[in-house]
Chain A
Amino acid sequence: GAGVSQSPSNKVTEKGKDVELRCDPISGHTALYWYRQSLGQGLEFLIYFQGNSAPDKSGLPSDRFSAERTGGSVSTLTIQRTQQEDSAVYLCASSWTGATEAFFGQGTRLTVV
């Protein structure tokens, strides 16, 4: 694809519901990152994938958060039993392994009401 694609672009959900966020990386990119950006804040690291494996998931805030990647391509971030503090923009990025430049998607703006 032309770039990193994330869906949905916006998601409003009720507190306590589960949500799934999707990331389609640039074709062939082996590394994939998920970040969270709260209003006026920098990017908070969540998880890193190398292929389908996640050697670094140290940033996941709680066991309500999980992520997977299949076929070395698409990744989904799942948040169970959403809380209001989960409201943020969730950004996905991909790159070649070892490459300096990571390309970001537009993000999914999650609002928990």
Chain B
Amino acid sequence: QKEVEQDPGPLSVPEGAIVSLNCTYSNSAFQYFMWYRQYSRKGPELLMYTYSSGNKEDGRFTAQVDKSSKYISLFIRDSQPSDSATYLCAMRVNRGGAQKLVFGQGTRLTINP
């Protein structure tokens, strides 16, 4: 079983829709929960990160963490064609002096005009 599970999609929605992206994880040692966006043939870029359970909002994006259920979500409101990309959840754990980012498989999202 992978430490982080993410539905790879693909997910296709019309412009203006609310998008919900999700990940589950099994390691309760994960401390930080992140969402990265990756455009085709580019490196991932950090969108948002959270530490504790609850919601964090940044413009049209909301990140949600439920540590009791080991479940995180990213919501995109008023989705735009420019939001079309692969979204990767990532979680950070510190082990023996090393810090490690563990990524989900990524969900490929397309917003149709």
**Pair from one complex:** yes
A binding-site residues for B, Cβ under 8 Å: 4, 31, 33, 35, 40-43, 45, 48, 50, 55-56, 91, 93, 97-98, 100-107
Contact with A along B23-39 (1 / 0, CB 8 A): 00000000010100000
Known A55-B96, A104-B44; contact A42-B32, beta-carbon cutoff 8 A: no
Number of interface residues of B (CB under 8 A): 26
Query: Given A4, A43, A56, which contacts B98 in the complex, CB threshold below 8 Å?
Result: A56
Q: Contacts A100-B32, A100-B34, A100-B92 hold; do A43 and B97 have CB atoms under 8 A apart?
A: no
Is the pair B6, A91 in contact by a Cβ cutoff of 8 Å? no
Are B103's CB and A43's CB within 8 A? yes
Query: Judging by beta carbons under 8 Å apart, are A105 and B43 in contact?
Result: yes
Question: What's the nearest-Cβ distance from chain A to residue B90, in Å?
Answer: 8
Query: Once bound together, how far apart are the Cα atoms of A50 and B44, in whole Å?
Result: 21
Q: Mark B88-106, 1 if CB is under 8 A from A, else 0.
A: 1010100111111111111
Give the complex CA separation of A35 and B88 in angstroms: 14
Interface contact B43-A33, CB-CB below 8 Å? no
Contacts of B102 in A (CB 8 A): 45
State whether the Cβ of B42 lies closer than 8 Å to any Cβ in chain A.
yes
Considering the chains assembled together, what is the distance between the CA atoms of A67 and B8 in angstroms? 30
A-B contact pairs, 8 of them (CB 8 A): A31-B99, A41-B106, A42-B6, A48-B99, A56-B100, A93-B101, A100-B32, A102-B46
